Chain A
Amino acid sequence: MESRSALTVEAATDSTDPMRRGLRSLAELPIGFSARIVAVNGASHIARRLMEMGFVPGAPVSVVRQAPFGDPLEVRVRSCHLAVRRAEARTIVVGDPQSFIG
């Protein structure tokens, strides 16, 4: 719990340089890249829904594509494909982009 809170605070205060220490929001993860979820912030009713759908710290996540009109994003968490709007994706903090999934 302690370490997760620490990361949350850092991610929140790091707005001037989101790339520092590799932390960024899911909305900033380039299409085709994957990363691990570090924290889910934001209002509890939204964050709860996201977590129930599999967006939990530690889970691998990748951005598959964006919808034809730019929003929402198609995101893959574990083996599950989900549509999330950019607004929700911004509340999910992820670590370093790790690999290219093609």
Chain B
Amino acid sequence: MSTTFDSPPLTNDADLRTKRRQLTIAIAGNPNAGKTSLFNALTGLRQKVANYPGVTVERKEGIWALEGGRTARLIDLPGLYSLDASSIDERIARDVLMGRARGLPAPDAIIAVVDATNLARNLYLITQLLEYEPPVVIALTMVDMAERRGIDIDVQRLRDLLGVPVVPVVAPQRRGLNELSRAVSEAARHGATKRVQWRLSEQAEREIAALCGDGEAGPAARRRVMEELYGEELPPDQNRRALILAARQRLQAHDPNWWQEPLLARYRFIERIIAEVERTKEAKRDLTMAIDSVITHRFFGPLILAAIMLLVFQTIFAWARVPMDLIDGAFGALAQAVHAYLPPGLFTDLLADGIVAGVGSVLVFLPQITLLFLFITLLEDSGYMARAAFIMDRLMRGVGLHGKAFVPLLSSFACAIPGIMATRTIENQKDRLATILIAPFMSCSARLPVYTLMIAAFFSDRRIFGFLSVGALLIMAMYLLGITVAVCVAWVLKRTILRGPTPPLVMELPPYRLPNPLTILQTIWSRAWLFVRRAGTVILAISIILWALANFPRVAPEGDRAQTVADRSAVESEQLKHSFAGRLGHLIEPVIAPLGFDWQMGIGLISSFAARETLVSTLSIVYNVGREADSSSPSLIEAIRKARRPDGRPAWTPLTAISMMVFFVLACQCMSTVAVVRRETNSWRWPIFMVLYMTALAYAAAFITYQGGRLLGFG
């Protein structure tokens, strides 16, 4: 921070008291009010993201260096329109403000972010914040934009009418940040500002007085009663609950819209303030309206959306391959280096094939995640995302989903992990869960090696009508199968376990803005880091377990390692057959036999639950062609074609290959996805449910494919 200002002398008693501990400051505001860019400007890169205990709401906090050398713990509350606790976000925010959030002290002050271009709506949250104890400092954002739109705000008058400090800020240019720091320190030192109360109708006041009881009066008791009476949640206590319900009934009889009273009282207050502080000169035709007449145009709107999505898809699908191959190659080289420089043995194997390969399998997704989040942040911060949801809502609602589910589902075609992380823009928890649960059905890029191998082995030069390649048709059929099943599952989920009233769509279409590069970089950084850290630990653990399953019990004594490549792969093949994984393959053979699979494919299936593309490398170990084979390697294709069952029949037929592909379309075989779902839903319940139902579906579909195909005379 700037040092040109002298810090105020520290003589005051209260100041000495607060000086000893770090201040806790919460930052609250409407979505799109400029809260994130203010938070980033105040904290820089010193921020961390975590979840609130037990819920999926994200908690972002950072360290803010105040003027005078003190620091504050700055807590970014979720973007909200009100504190009425009708969504999880709002309940969390209210808990934080009242000091009821686990692990967080009540804030010493609140920075309330208010968008100057939208004063009336933004002040609604302020009127609620003023009902709580912590002192409020208003950071007035978008002042420059308001000026350009001909909106003139009398800041001094606003300050007087609200009775709290109002500091105009322009976060990207760091204007007003010192003043904000001073106002917040001052507010935290002096404690509570006067709290606002609303005078309601006679009937309502009578009920509130009765519910307050004789012993307790005063603003805190009144507010608690108001929360009970007008809030969505009833108090847990039986007697109290009955009293509240009776009071509600009496009010209801008097006025069916009785519960709107506090809302209307707050708006009357806001109306008075607006009339005094806001002057609007002739409104210029604004740019957003002009852009929207094209972007949400009946014909061009969907077309532009399709073009943007194609670009995103292409980037994640094709251009991300370059850095992904680099990372993959680097970790492959590292594993080889470990083998080359360390003495052969179990530890070296664990390090190279378990740990290095495991870490590599995590980091290889980073380019896709980073690129996808670059696009999502750009689309979100520019204001386009709301338009995409606006255009798609009608179609998505057909299957019971929200318009905002469109982008996450589309990006899942590249990789379900960033797709699932992108569902955070969906506020309704049931809609979000439904979207997460169907996202892995979108055929991701990790399935391509499997499809490619199967097609190369059995359908390579077949054509229909002389020009249509069977392979291309099969791949398209697999994508369509995934989409169809996803639509059906969403439809079923929204009518069974995720049933609920259709949440209303009341979505702001914010003005278009140039995204702030700093905010974008910080968002991408925190997302990428979060992925590496949280998902990484789980993936690493599972990699080591899988390595152990494939390597124990040992066949050959340690150190007795074959030297030539051919011998080495023979040893590896032998090892795998006798390992737990190999035994597991034999164990599940009766179960997978109806799908057309034998025990060797079973090993592939088991290992592919870590990551789908593992099937290719496992099959090459099983068929003794060395693990370096890839999906277009001729030796592996030869081996697959030549593989025989004990009775001499070919192990693979074209029908087996299709059955395998169908299984891979539907099964949840990706531990990274499981780890991310665990993280995003904050429980093991949903990832376990997802693995079970998807795998059951995959089994059923592969069963129908194989047995149906045999009945029709194929295979």
Which positions in A face B, CB cutoff 8 Å? 1, 4-5, 8, 39-41, 43-54, 56-58, 64-65, 67-72, 74, 77-85, 87-88
Taking a contact as CB atoms closer than 8 A, the residue among A43, A57, A68, A83 that contacts B298 in the complex is: A68
A70 near B394: Cβ-Cβ < 8 Å: yes
B509 near A81: Cβ-Cβ < 8 Å: yes
Looking at the assembled complex, report how far the CB atom of B147 sits from the nearest CB atom of chain A, in whole angstroms. 14
Known contacts A41-B257, A45-B86; A83/B507 CB under 8 A: yes
A80 near B255: Cβ-Cβ < 8 Å: no
CB neighbours of A54 from chain B (8 A):
120-121, 124
CB neighbours of B394 from chain A (8 A):
67, 69-72
Tell whether B297 is near chain A: CB-to-CB under 8 Å: yes
A83 near B509: Cβ-Cβ < 8 Å: yes
Tell whether B82 is near chain A: CB-to-CB under 8 Å: yes
**Selected interface stretch from B259-267, B368-376, B561-569, B682-690:** B259-267
Which positions in B face A, CB cutoff 8 Å? 81-82, 84, 86, 117-118, 120-121, 124, 149, 151, 201, 232, 255-257, 259-261, 263-264, 267, 271, 288-289, 292-293, 296-299, 301-302, 386, 389-391, 393-395, 397, 501-502, 504-511
Looking at the assembled complex, report how far the CB atom of B179 sits from the nearest CB atom of chain A, in whole angstroms. 26
A52 near B299: Cβ-Cβ < 8 Å: no
Looking at the assembled complex, report how far the CB atom of A76 sits from the nearest CB atom of chain B, in whole angstroms. 9
Please name the residue on chain B nearest to A54 by beta carbon. B121
CB neighbours of A58 from chain B (8 A):
271
CB neighbours of A87 from chain B (8 A):
502, 504
Looking at the assembled complex, report how far the CB atom of A77 sits from the nearest CB atom of chain B, in whole angstroms. 8
A68 near B391: Cβ-Cβ < 8 Å: yes
B301 near A68: Cβ-Cβ < 8 Å: yes
CB neighbours of A77 from chain B (8 A):
121
Taking a contact as CB atoms closer than 8 A, the residue among A40, A46, A69, A72 that contacts B260 in the complex is: A40
A52 near B81: Cβ-Cβ < 8 Å: yes
Known contacts A68-B298, A74-B390; A88/B509 CB under 8 A: no
B264 near A56: Cβ-Cβ < 8 Å: yes
Please name the residue on chain A nearest to B393 by beta carbon. A72
B509 near A74: Cβ-Cβ < 8 Å: yes
Taking a contact as CB atoms closer than 8 A, the residue among B292, B302, B390 that contacts A72 in the complex is: B390
Listed by A's residue number, 19 A-B pairs whose Cβ atoms lie within 8 Å are A1-B201, A8-B256, A46-B504, A51-B263, A53-B121, A54-B121, A56-B263, A57-B264, A58-B271, A69-B395, A71-B397, A72-B390, A72-B394, A79-B149, A80-B508, A82-B507, A83-B508, A85-B397, A85-B504
Please name the residue on chain A nearest to B390 by beta carbon. A83
Looking at the assembled complex, report how far the CB atom of A36 sits from the nearest CB atom of chain B, in whole angstroms. 13
Looking at the assembled complex, report how far the CB atom of A45 sits from the nearest CB atom of chain B, in whole angstroms. 6
Known: A1-B255, A52-B84, A83-B389. 11 other contacts (CB 8 A): A5-B255, A50-B504, A51-B260, A52-B82, A67-B390, A69-B391, A78-B120, A81-B510, A82-B507, A84-B506, A84-B507
Looking at the assembled complex, report how far the CB atom of A90 sits from the nearest CB atom of chain B, in whole angstroms. 11
The winner among B259, B394, B511 for most chain A CB atoms within 10 A is B394
How far apart sit A40 and B261, CA to CA, in the bound complex (Å)?
Answer: 12
Known contacts A69-B394, A83-B509; A47/B81 CB under 8 A: no
The winner among A8, A77, A81, A88 for most chain B CB atoms within 10 A is A81
CB neighbours of A67 from chain B (8 A):
296, 301, 390-391, 393-394
CB neighbours of A83 from chain B (8 A):
386, 389-390, 393, 505-509
Please name the residue on chain A nearest to B297 by beta carbon. A68
B505 near A48: Cβ-Cβ < 8 Å: no
Looking at the assembled complex, report how far the CB atom of B619 sits from the nearest CB atom of chain A, in whole angstroms. 45
A85 near B86: Cβ-Cβ < 8 Å: no
A52 near B505: Cβ-Cβ < 8 Å: no
Please name the residue on chain A nearest to B259 by beta carbon. A44
Known contacts A8-B256, A71-B394; A85/B120 CB under 8 A: no
The winner among A46, A70, A79 for most chain B CB atoms within 10 A is A79
How far apart sit A72 and B396, CA to CA, in the bound complex (Å)?
Answer: 12
Closest 8 CB pairs of A and B: A69-B394, A81-B509, A52-B82, A46-B504, A83-B507, A54-B121, A52-B81, A68-B301
B263 near A74: Cβ-Cβ < 8 Å: no
Taking a contact as CB atoms closer than 8 A, the residue among A41, A48, A57 that contacts B86 in the complex is: A48
CB neighbours of B505 from chain A (8 A):
72, 83-85, 88
The winner among A40, A57, A80, A84 for most chain B CB atoms within 10 A is A80
Looking at the assembled complex, report how far the CB atom of A96 sits from the nearest CB atom of chain B, in whole angstroms. 21
A79 near B506: Cβ-Cβ < 8 Å: no
B118 near A79: Cβ-Cβ < 8 Å: yes
Looking at the assembled complex, report how far the CB atom of B244 sits from the nearest CB atom of chain A, in whole angstroms. 15
CB neighbours of B260 from chain A (8 A):
40, 47-48, 51
B296 near A65: Cβ-Cβ < 8 Å: yes
How far apart sit A13 and B42, CA to CA, in the bound complex (Å)?
Answer: 55
How far apart sit A1 and B292, CA to CA, in the bound complex (Å)?
Answer: 38
Looking at the assembled complex, report how far the CB atom of B604 sits from the nearest CB atom of chain A, in whole angstroms. 44
B504 near A56: Cβ-Cβ < 8 Å: no
Known contacts A4-B257, A52-B263, A54-B121; A68/B302 CB under 8 A: yes
Please name the residue on chain B nearest to A50 by beta carbon. B506
CB neighbours of A1 from chain B (8 A):
201, 255, 261
Taking a contact as CB atoms closer than 8 A, the residue among B124, B232, B501 that contacts A52 in the complex is: B124
How far apart sit A72 and B392, CA to CA, in the bound complex (Å)?
Answer: 9
Looking at the assembled complex, report how far the CB atom of A72 sits from the nearest CB atom of chain B, in whole angstroms. 6
How far apart sit A71 and B389, CA to CA, in the bound complex (Å)?
Answer: 11
Looking at the assembled complex, report how far the CB atom of B127 sits from the nearest CB atom of chain A, in whole angstroms. 11
Known contacts A54-B121, A69-B394, A70-B394; A82/B509 CB under 8 A: yes
B393 near A81: Cβ-Cβ < 8 Å: no
Looking at the assembled complex, report how far the CB atom of B152 sits from the nearest CB atom of chain A, in whole angstroms. 13
CB neighbours of A48 from chain B (8 A):
82, 84, 86, 259-260, 263
CB neighbours of B390 from chain A (8 A):
67, 72, 74, 83
B508 near A53: Cβ-Cβ < 8 Å: yes
How far apart sit A16 and B333, CA to CA, in the bound complex (Å)?
Answer: 78
CB neighbours of A49 from chain B (8 A):
81, 86, 504, 506
A82 near B264: Cβ-Cβ < 8 Å: no
How far apart sit A65 and B387, CA to CA, in the bound complex (Å)?
Answer: 12
CB neighbours of B117 from chain A (8 A):
79
CB neighbours of B151 from chain A (8 A):
79
How far apart sit A1 and B393, CA to CA, in the bound complex (Å)?
Answer: 36
CB neighbours of A82 from chain B (8 A):
506-509
Looking at the assembled complex, report how far the CB atom of B286 sits from the nearest CB atom of chain A, in whole angstroms. 9
B118 near A80: Cβ-Cβ < 8 Å: yes
Looking at the assembled complex, report how far the CB atom of B101 sits from the nearest CB atom of chain A, in whole angstroms. 22
How far apart sit A44 and B251, CA to CA, in the bound complex (Å)?
Answer: 14
How far apart sit A75 and B301, CA to CA, in the bound complex (Å)?
Answer: 17
Looking at the assembled complex, report how far the CB atom of A21 sits from the nearest CB atom of chain B, in whole angstroms. 19
CB neighbours of A69 from chain B (8 A):
391, 394-395
CB neighbours of A78 from chain B (8 A):
118, 120-121
Known contacts A56-B263, A67-B390; A88/B255 CB under 8 A: no
Please name the residue on chain A nearest to B32 by beta carbon. A80
Looking at the assembled complex, report how far the CB atom of A56 sits from the nearest CB atom of chain B, in whole angstroms. 5
How far apart sit A58 and B268, CA to CA, in the bound complex (Å)?
Answer: 10
Please name the residue on chain A nearest to B90 by beta carbon. A52
Looking at the assembled complex, report how far the CB atom of A101 sits from the nearest CB atom of chain B, in whole angstroms. 10
A88 near B296: Cβ-Cβ < 8 Å: no
The winner among A5, A74, A83 for most chain B CB atoms within 10 A is A83
Please name the residue on chain B nearest to A81 by beta carbon. B509
